[in-house]
Amino acid sequence: MDTSQYMSMFLEESMENLQTLNEALLTLEQQPENMDKLNEIFRVAHTIKGMAATMGFSQMAELTHKMEDVLSKFREGKLKVTEKVVTVLFTCLDTLEKMVNNISEGNSQELPIEHIIADLHSIAEGHGTLEDKEIETAVTTDSTYNHIERINLNEYDIDVVKQAKEKMFNVYEIKILLSENTLLKAARAFLIFKSLEDYGEIIKSIPGAEDLENENFEFEINLIYITNKLKEEVNDILLNISEVEKVIVYDVEDKKGKEDFSDNPGDFKTIEQSPEVASEAVKNVATPENKNEDKKEAVVHKKAHQSVRVELDRLDKFMNMVSELVIHRTRLEQISSVHKLTDLNETLEQVARATSELQDLVMKIRMLPLEVVFNRFPRMIRDLSKDLNKEMELVIQGQETELDRTVIDEIGEPLLHLLRNAADHGIEPAADRISKGKNPIGRIKLIAYAEGTKAIIKVEDDGKGLDVDKIKTKANQVGINTDGMSEADIKNLIFAQGFSTNEKVTDISGRGVGMDVVKTKIAALGGTVDAISEIDKGTSFIIRLPLTLQIIQALLVKIGDETMAISLGYIDRVIDYKDNLIKKTNNKEVIVYNDSVIPLVRINKKLQIETSDSKKKYIVIVKVGEKIVGLLVDSLLGQQEIVIKPLGKTLQGLKEYIGATILGDGLVTLILDVAALV
């Protein structure tokens, strides 16, 4: 069997499933009695095992199978959820993640799993008698068939069943078992539903339609079905569908209610329905002539969550094509205005509108919620808490905030460093916290929200704060002159290369590379990072990032004879330049505006461009993080939507620019990196 076409699907789904297991295990450790979480973990582990076995990765399947053995002991109540057991299961997940990474990199080297399997084996063995083991083997070898789960009917379902029976219809409860080698379970489920709905109506399914579409189920589907077909016919219809391994059809008696209809009511979800839906279901079956129209209605509801997986390079190509369109649209607008072609105006407006909508659409398609980055951090903080022997908790807010995929890809590492730093440097040991009158459990917050064209991410801790004197001493040791620096500037020295206040190097921090990486990565994304801190109150790192990196609104300015672009995201306001505004302090030029002192940067001097003799000059006041600076420019050319094109290899070393753009008249213009200038 050629599995190559399924490989990318397998890798992506495995990583998603492993992340789900990580999160569910963390919850289970805090709520050992949570049976729903336990069932979810069991189900996801079973899915990973099935997928790995289908794709021929036997080592992965073996490890997950051993995990299942331990999990089934939890389910049967023979084993308690303890920190030690959860730690072993986490080691399992880390190993599985390494295996998936090896598969994606084409590395066929097998990982040593004997010690983990031995650990799992001893956990499973150490808590059960021989009889338990025999029962357990029976369950794990053929768990699908041994537990016949009956659907729990609510009062509406019973009402529908009654109405159907009165109209002489057959009502069946159907249990369908798919082959464990089924790759596209959702497609199989769709075929089952389609085949059955040709001859009747499904009034209830466990799992529900959404879970079936998202493949969020094992290899078992339970249905309540109203039809005028006989049991044998229903059986044949289903067994004719490939990969359906076993079908069991029961008669449903309308008198059976909640009490005696289920073996174990805790094992499944009930789907609530309104009385209108109930009578509608019977009507659908009772009137064959309306069947097709009604069925279309039903299908529309079922397809609420439909999505397509698209390769990222295709999206990038799409984005580039839209960018080209924006460039040519601007060019057309310019030609039209130069040649006064009024006939073109209306068409150009339509093109402009369509381009803008297309652009918005491609931006939204490229957006991903920060959740995909944030969801791996609770596990990391749990592990650090154990390693550092400190009690701490992580609070996450705003993980639904969306950012461009390129930003999402890059932001994980800086956040990782900031959180490790908060855990290692920020949060004090419990004894110190108690002596300061604080809660012995340290709290780290990860908060995200959108603000205009920027996304703000904050990493806050309620620890000991940044010690300015310690940073000053360290700065002087490494040769940084701190005279005349404000407290805020000294605190931000922690981002300097190789700077660390840790006396001893541990595997968590102290090498002085982390914060430097944070600053560099965030600057490369066109963002800024600031440290705000108060002794014994805690530290807050505020990251500001652009929501997207491809198309921005910019102000075009002249510096000498050169045209430059400045992103509107940074601009606070523009004021006229007057000689009497300029003052000097510490031999540096500043302007006094609205009672605040703002440093002045003459861009022409900074970039070594000859200034023009134009009488009227302007000061563009920009805000980067907490800093406000005035940029002196020769003239303003107006606001325009521009497409950021990266600089080629030759110009990559130029730190003052984030890229270039092509204007409507074909002129290539550099885009200033305001954060670097400031």
Q: What is the mean pLDDT of residues 429-434?
A: 90
Give the mean model confidence (pLDDT) for residues 367-374: 87
Where does 525-567 show beta strands of DSSP type E? 528-534, 538-546, 551-559, 562-567
Q: Is the pLDDT of residue 142 over 50?
A: no
Q: Which of 325, 349, 368 is the last residue of a domain?
A: 368
Catalytic annotation present for 305 = no
* Diameter of the chain measured on Cα atoms: 97
Q: In Å, how far are 418, 446, 499, 660 from 524, measured between CA atoms?
A: 17, 22, 20, 15
Q: Left, alpha or beta for 552 (phi > 0: left; psi -120 to 50: alpha)?
A: beta
- Residue 542: the pLDDT is 92
At residue 35 the predicted structure's pLDDT band, cuts being 50, 70 and 90, is confident
Whether 103 is in a domain gets the answer yes
Which pLDDT score, from 0 to 100, does residue 410 have? 84
Is 604 an active-site residue? no
**32: in domain:** yes
| Per-residue model confidence (pLDDT) at position 443 | 92
504, 544 in Cβ contact below 8 A?
no
pLDDT band of residue 462 (cuts 50, 70, 90) is very high
Is residue 434 domain-shared with residue 377, that is, in the same domain?
A: yes
Same domain, 443 and 541: yes
Same domain flag for 334 and 477: no
At 122, which CATH number?
1.20.120.160
Mean pLDDT, all residues of the chain: 78
Asked if 191 and 273 sit in the same domain, the reply is: yes
Residues 514 and 401 in one domain: yes
In a domain? residue 644: yes
Same domain, 480 and 594: no
Residues 47-64: what's their mean pLDDT?
84
Which residue stretches of 422-545 are H helix?
430-435, 468-477, 487-491, 514-524
**150: which 2 tokens?**
């009956």
Half-sphere exposure of 250 toward its Cβ, with a 13 Å CA cutoff? 15
Of the CA atoms within 13 Å of residue 503, those in its CB half-sphere come to: 2
User: Which of 4-8, 220-224, 356-360 is predicted least confidently?
Assistant: 4-8
Catalytic residue among 22, 40, 46, 152: 46
Look at 252 and 249; give whichever has higher pLDDT: 249
The verdict on pTM exceeding 0.95 is no
Indicate if 445 and 528 belong to the same structural domain: yes
pLDDT band of 259, cuts 50, 70, 90: very low
Q: Inform me whether the pLDDT recorded for 458 exceeds 90.
A: yes
Q: Is residue 149 assigned to a domain?
A: no
Do the domain assignments include residue 307?
no
Instruction: Strand 454-461: give its sheet, edge to edge.
Output: 392-397, 442-451, 454-461, 538-546, 528-534
| Spatial strand order in the sheet of 588-593 | 571-576, 618-624, 627-633, 596-602, 588-593, 582-585
CATH number at residue 322: 1.10.287
Q: Which domain holds residue 216?
A: 155-302
Residues 282 and 194 in one domain: yes
Alpha helix (H) ranges present in 441-597? Answer: 468-477, 487-491, 514-524
Q: Please confirm, yes or no, whether 181 is among the known catalytic residues.
A: no
Write down which residue in 302, 325, 342 finishes a domain.
302
**% of the chain surpassing 70 pLDDT:** 84
Residue 150: inside a domain: no
Residue 97 above 60 pLDDT? yes
DSSP string of 70-124? HHHHHHTTSS---HHHHHHHHHHHHHHHHHHHHHHTT--PPPP-HHHHHHHHHHH
How does pLDDT run across 636-655, given as a tens digit for each residue? 988 888 878 777 777 766 77
**Does residue 295 share a domain with residue 198?**
yes
**pLDDT higher than 70, residue 280:** no
> What CATH number has the domain bearing residue 209?
3.30.70.1110
Q: What phi and psi values does residue 529 have, to the nearest 5 degrees?
A: -135, 135
- Given the residues 17, 284, 421, 492, select the one marked as catalytic: 421
Which of 98, 114, 141 is where one domain is finished? 141
Catalytic one of 17, 29, 65, 68: 68
Distance CA 388, CA 439 (A): 17
- Statement to judge: residues 338 and 429 lie in one domain: no
Distance CA 221, CA 208 (A): 9
What average pLDDT does the segment 563-589 reach? 85
- 324 plus 445 within the same structural domain: no
Cα separation of 321 and 639, whole Å?
A: 23
In a domain, 147, yes or no: no
Residue linked to tokens 């541990």: 506
Cα radius of gyration rounded to whole Å, the chain: 32
Residue 445, domain CATH = 3.30.565.10
Question: Residue range 106-134: average pLDDT?
Answer: 67
Q: Are residues 463 and 592 in the same domain?
A: no
Give me the number of domains the chain comprises.
5
Which of 275-289, 444-458, 601-615 has the least mean pLDDT? Answer: 275-289
Q: Is residue 497 part of a domain?
A: yes
